[in-house]
Amino acid sequence: MQPPPEPHPVRVGSLFPGTALAIFAAALGLVELHAQEPPRPQFEVASVKPNLTPRRDKDGSGIHPGTGGVSVKRASLKSLLMWAYGVKAYQVVSGVNWLDSEFYDIEAKASEKAGKDQLMLMMQALLEIRFQLVQHRETREIPANELSVDKADKNGPKLHEVPPGDKIGGQVRFAMAGKAKQLIGTQAPISELIVWLNSLLIDSGRPVIDRTGLTGAYDFQLEWLPDDDFPAAALSAALQQQLGLKLEAAKAPVEMLVIDRAEKSPSGN
């Protein structure tokens, strides 16, 4: 009696050409995906409650991060999104009509000391869990104001650049001189001026984008008489005449935070 023949090993790739390679590649892709996206840290405990009280001056409203967590009093979901994802108001796009009209109190504690970057990630996780937040980012061209160096001015920008060794830490402060408004820069980067310009022109709906290419720290003083009817025009003229900078309307590509879904009532604590 002849012994039964030994079975031949079956190879997946020989039965389904390319299948084994595809499975391996998919598995490798999953490994790489998990390697690139480590799980975000989360708060150890958090309380989220709607705040139905009317706002009063000096009531402590806002987002207050600390090394042990974040305390929030009467903040809108839009404000929370801006803080957690590090974006400006004009970068938040949503069909949700209550993002900035409903307010919340949050007390969130971390299990150990955490810096601001970690707390922002924790807040992102909290918003996704408690508000069922779904979001994505995309780049859109939007109306903007671009700040650039006035090339028509042969003398270049009229800001006093501070020597690198003298830098202490810059700031731009707002002041009033009679009816005139002032921005006074002390060892300040252009990014600080951009912050103030965005604040002053917020009603225009156009973000101010830095296109100056200026990377140093500067001393400067800007003064202008406000024009309630044409605020951008008055400020633009002062920037050009006094600082050699040009503010022009343009379209600029800006990364937006698009809100696909959010629930008004947060889930249980």
Q: Summarize pLDDT for 204-216 with one digit per residue, the tens.
A: 888 999 999 999 9
CB 40 within 8 A of CB 126: no
Identify the three-state secondary structure at position 15: helix
- Amino acid 60: pLDDT: 75
Residue 63 pLDDT greater than 50, yes or no: yes
Residue 255 pLDDT greater than 90, yes or no: yes
* Inter-CA distances, 100 with 16, 75, 215, Å: 55, 8, 35
Span 64-91, average pLDDT:
95
Q: Summarize pLDDT for 145-184 with one digit per residue, the tens.
A: 999 999 988 888 999 999 877 666 689 999 999 999 999 9
Q: Sign of the C-alpha dihedral, residues 140, 144, 148, 151? A: positive
Span 79-92, average pLDDT:
94
Span 15-31, average pLDDT:
43
Span 223-249, average pLDDT:
91
Residue 25 pLDDT greater than 80, yes or no: no
Span 7-30, average pLDDT:
43
Give the H/E segment covering residue 129: helix 116-130
Report the candidate in 141, 137, 131 with the shortest Cα–Cα distance to residue 78. 131
Rg (CA), the chain: 27
Look at 33-47, 82-96, 98-112 and tell me which has the smallest mean pLDDT.
33-47
Q: Sign of the C-alpha dihedral, residues 202, 104, 65, 55? A: positive
Residue 2 pLDDT greater than 60, yes or no: no
Q: Summarize pLDDT for 93-115 with one digit per residue, the tens.
A: 998 899 999 999 999 999 999 99
Identify the three-state secondary structure at position 220: strand
In DSSP terms, 184 is beta-bridged to: 173, 221
- Amino acid 239: pLDDT: 96
Span 217-238, average pLDDT:
90
- Amino acid 35: pLDDT: 45
Contacts of 171 (CB under 8 A, 6+ apart): 185, 186, 187, 188, 192
- Amino acid 219: pLDDT: 95
CB 70 within 8 A of CB 127: no
Report the candidate in 57, 125, 67, 127 with the shortest Cα–Cα distance to residue 99. 127
